Chain A
Amino acid sequence: ETGVTQTPRHLVMGMTNKKSLKCEQHLGHNAMYWYKQSAKKPLELMFVYSLEERVENNSVPSRFSPECPNSSHLFLHLHTLQPEDSALYLCASSQDFGSARGHTDTQYFGPGTRLTVL
Chain B
Amino acid sequence: GNSVTQMEGPVTLSEEAFLTINCTYTATGYPSLFWYVQYPGEGLQLLLKATKADDKGSNKGFEATYRKETTSFHLEKGSVQVSDSAVYFCALSESYQKVTFGTGTKLQVIP
Binding site for B on A (CB under 8 A): 4, 6, 40-43, 45, 48, 56, 90-92, 97-103, 105-112
Contact = CB atoms under 8 A, between A and B. Distances in A.
A107 B89 CA distance: 13
22 contacts: A42-B100, A42-B103, A42-B104, A43-B101, A45-B99, A90-B43, A92-B43, A97-B98, A99-B95, A100-B95, A101-B30, A101-B32, A102-B32, A102-B94, A105-B32, A106-B34, A107-B44, A107-B99, A109-B43, A109-B44, A109-B45, A111-B41
Contacts of B30: 101
B49 A106 contact: yes
A102 B104 CA distance: 21
Given A101-B32, A102-B51, A45 B98 contact: yes
A72 to B, nearest CB: 17
B44 A42 contact: no
Interface residues of B, number: 27
Contacts of A105: 32, 93, 99
A90 B44 contact: yes
10 nearest A-B residue pairs (beta carbon): A109-B43, A102-B32, A102-B93, A98-B96, A105-B93, A43-B101, A109-B44, A111-B43, A42-B103, A110-B43
Nearest to A55: B98
B46 interface: yes
A43 to B, nearest CB: 4
* Interface core residue of B4, B34, B36, B99 (most chain A CB under 10 Å): B99
A49 to B, nearest CB: 12
Contacts of A97: 98
Given A42-B101, A43-B89, A98-B96, A112 B32 contact: no
B42 interface: yes
